[in-house]
Amino acid sequence: MWQYIAKVAITAVLVVAIAELAKQRSLLAAVLASLPVTSLLAFVWLYVDTGDSMRVAALSQEILWLVLPSLILFLALPWLIRAGVNFWLSLGVASAATAVSYAAMIWALRRFGGGA
């Protein structure tokens, strides 16, 4: 049980730290947020829980392919906001476009044997 509490606490502290840092220094917060901290934590937790480095390798490879559709969010959100669309609608549309991109990538990976 203590491992779950530690996992949640470490992850929550990172997310809150990034959000707070963004209020003062958005570039530094962006650098921290862009680091694959979530992936690194997932690799560590998976390895600690299973001791299986091959599972870590498989997760890492699948993350690589799924990073590509996630970039849609970072393209669409600022474009929509700068085009005058309100924040919540921009976030919703960008999120929906990202979800569609994920579905397309998962379909392509299954179709062409790349995982997922």
Does 23 map to a domain?
A: no
For residue 95, the enclosing domain spans 52-116
Does 116 map to a domain?
A: yes
pLDDT tens-place string over residues 62-109: 888 989 999 999 999 999 999 999 999 999 999 999 999 999 999 998
pLDDT tens-place string over residues 94-105: 999 999 999 999
- pLDDT at 4 > cutoff 90: no
Higher-confidence residue of 6 and 46: namely 46
Q: Count of domains in the chain?
A: 1
Does 45 map to a domain?
A: no
Does 66 map to a domain?
A: yes
Does 30 map to a domain?
A: no
Does 43 map to a domain?
A: no
Does 28 map to a domain?
A: no
- pLDDT at 6 > cutoff 90: no
Does 37 map to a domain?
A: no
H helices of 51-86, in order, are 53-82
Instruction: Label each residue of 3-42 as H, E or C.
Output: HHHHHHHHHHHHHHHHHHHHHHCHHHHHHHHHCCHHHHHH
The closest alpha carbon to 82, from 71, 70, 94, belongs to 94
